[in-house]
Amino acid sequence: MSLQLSALRARFDIDRIVGGVALIALHEIDALMGDAQAFALCARQTWRARDGVERRRERRSRSRQAQQRRREDRAIRRELWLGLLRDLRAAPRRAGPGP
């Protein structure tokens, strides 16, 4: 009986780990897509800039936007990892009737 309970608990722990890591992976993919879009926008705006002053102004603006995006990504990443740790530290779920 105890072997069944430990196997059941291990299954729930694995489900929690896989679910948490999947959320983190999705966030990382989203962050990379955002970086790719920002790079494409940067290239288009640099190409369209009429002179060096306009290029510098655009670069400063993009730099501020990139820093803000990185701060937001870092905060989201931190919350995802902390949520995964909270889930793993929580008491094991009770086995109920299956779906």
Could you tell me if residue 34 is left (phi over 0), alpha (psi between -120 and 50 degrees) or otherwise beta?
alpha
Report pLDDT digits (tens) over 25-61: 999 999 999 889 988 888 888 777 778 777 777 778 8
Distance from C-alpha of 37 to C-alpha of 58, rounded to nearest angstrom: 16
Q: Where are the domains of the chain?
A: 2-89
Q: How confident is the model at residue 8 (pLDDT cuts 50, 70, 90)?
A: low
The count of other CB atoms within 10 Å of the CB of residue 14 is 10
Rounded to two decimals, what is the model's pTM?
0.66
Residues 6+ apart with CB under 8 A from 46: 55, 58, 59
Cβ proximity of 24 and 80 under 8 Å? yes
